[in-house]
């Protein structure tokens, strides 16, 4: 028979507290509700986290909130349906200027590209004058706004008036491009990778655009975003999520077998397409956010404000270094 003394009970309680604080031990962690677009790149990370047992290692209880598309994620965050989303820091900065206590940690520096047919006579941005360019998303998509800002700096004219933009969902403008109904396409990196594998030529990457605006290093535009207060009030362990993503990216950066496991989610048309997507993803894996990234983000924000891109940064938006989690 075991006799429980007051001292032994206190010791036991202290041990449970310590176990609860240790990853993978003791009491279950508060779930982290993370948004994910089905078959999108975040779903690849989630699958890797689970397949490799990284969630157990980090003591992470991951609850997935599926959203129909990327614009739906911010709605989920602001409505309280999700704790963490993946979106642009330009959006988060705009929200922070409105009083929302959002934080941002980098997820990927992989950006879209302007693609043209392999044998196209288009060799530069200026050659798009008078041409049709398919644009994934809407007129306020960050890549399109950045391309417009860059064209004004480089050519002194807005690409939106030089060329004829055709807006649509990424799969739609991709098919328009394949069928020759547009002369070029500005698409998300996953679609750009697929087109490159099919033989299309990369005219201009969004990384080239940002560098062309004299912003270096290229700051990751996409990352994890959450509300400081809501995470604190619910004791949501965002740090465990970020650690798990780092571990998963280490696997995806080095293991080709991990990418074969992701085939059902990626649905590549060929081995070449899978390799192109893998290489694009790997090129976008980023480390922790540092002072140089903050300085580059500030320069980019001020440049966009100066150029009048209120669609991207919003009226009244000002740079706030406290947005960035480091």
Structure tokens at 293: 């990234």
CA 6 from centre of chain? 52
Q: 67, 36 in Cβ contact below 8 A?
A: yes
pLDDT classification of 15: cutoffs 50, 70, 90: very low
- Structural domains in the chain, CATH included, are 28-109+219-323 (3.40.190.10), 113-212 (3.40.190.10)
Query: How far are the Cα atoms of 142, 206, 266, 321 from residue 42, in angstroms, in the given order?
Result: 19, 20, 11, 26
pTM for this predicted structure: 0.85
Q: Would you say residue 72 has pLDDT above 60? A: yes
Q: 289, 105 in Cβ contact below 8 A?
A: yes
Q: Residue 309: its pLDDT value, please?
A: 58
User: Cα angle vertex 141, ends 135, 147, to 5°?
Assistant: 70
Structure tokens at 234: 């619910």
Structure tokens at 113: 């590209």
User: How far is Cα 205 from Cα 215, in angstroms, rounded to an integer?
Assistant: 14
**Average pLDDT, stretch 145-157?**
91
**Average pLDDT, stretch 235-261?**
98
- The answer to which of 32-36, 288-292, 316-320 has the lowest mean pLDDT is 316-320
**Nearest alpha carbon to residue 62 among 266, 244, 249:** 244
**Average pLDDT, stretch 11-30?**
45
**Average pLDDT, stretch 57-64?**
96
Tell me the H-state helices in 166-261. 170-178, 189-197, 206-212, 228-234, 238-254, 256-261
């Amino acid at each position: 028979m075991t006799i429980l003394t007051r001292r032994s009970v206190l010791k036991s309680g202290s041990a449970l507290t310590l176990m609860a604080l240790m990853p993978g031990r003791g009491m279950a962690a508060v779930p982290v509700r993370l948004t994910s677009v089905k078959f999108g790149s975040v779903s690849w990370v989630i699958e890797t986290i689970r397949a490799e047992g990284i969630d157990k290692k980090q003591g992470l209880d991951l609850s997935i909130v599926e959203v129909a598309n990327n614009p739906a994620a911010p709605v989920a965050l602001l409505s309280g349906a999700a704790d963490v989303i993946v979106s642009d820091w330009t959006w988060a900065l705009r929200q922070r200027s409105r009083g929302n206590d959002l934080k941002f940690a980098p997820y990927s520096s992989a950006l879209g590209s302007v693609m043209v047919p392999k044998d196209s006579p288009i060799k530069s941005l200026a050659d798009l004058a008078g041409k049709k360019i398919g644009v994934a998303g809407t007129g306020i998509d960050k890549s399109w706004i950045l391309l417009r800002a860059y064209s004004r700096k480089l050519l002194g004219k807005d690409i939106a008036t030089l060329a004829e933009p055709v807006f649509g969902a990424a799969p739609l403008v991709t098919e328009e491009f394949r069928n020759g109904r547009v002369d070029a396409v500005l698409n998300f990196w996953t679609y750009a990778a697929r087109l490159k594998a099919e033989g299309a030529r990369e005219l201009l990457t969004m990384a080239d655009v940002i560098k062309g605006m004299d912003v270096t290093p290229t700051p990751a535009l996409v990352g994890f975003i959450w509300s400081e207060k809501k995470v604190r009030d619910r004791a949501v362990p965002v740090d465990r999520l970020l650690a798990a993503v780092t571990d998963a990216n280490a696997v995806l950066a080095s293991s080709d077998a991990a990418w074969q496991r992701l085939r059902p989610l990626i649905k590549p048309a060929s081995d070449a397409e899978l390799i192109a997507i893998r290489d694009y993803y790997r090129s976008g894996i980023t480390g922790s956010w540092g002072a140089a990234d903050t300085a580059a983000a500030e320069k980019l924000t001020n440049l966009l404000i100066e150029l009048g891109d209120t669609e991207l940064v919003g009226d009244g938006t000002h740079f706030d270094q406290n947005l960035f989690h480091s």
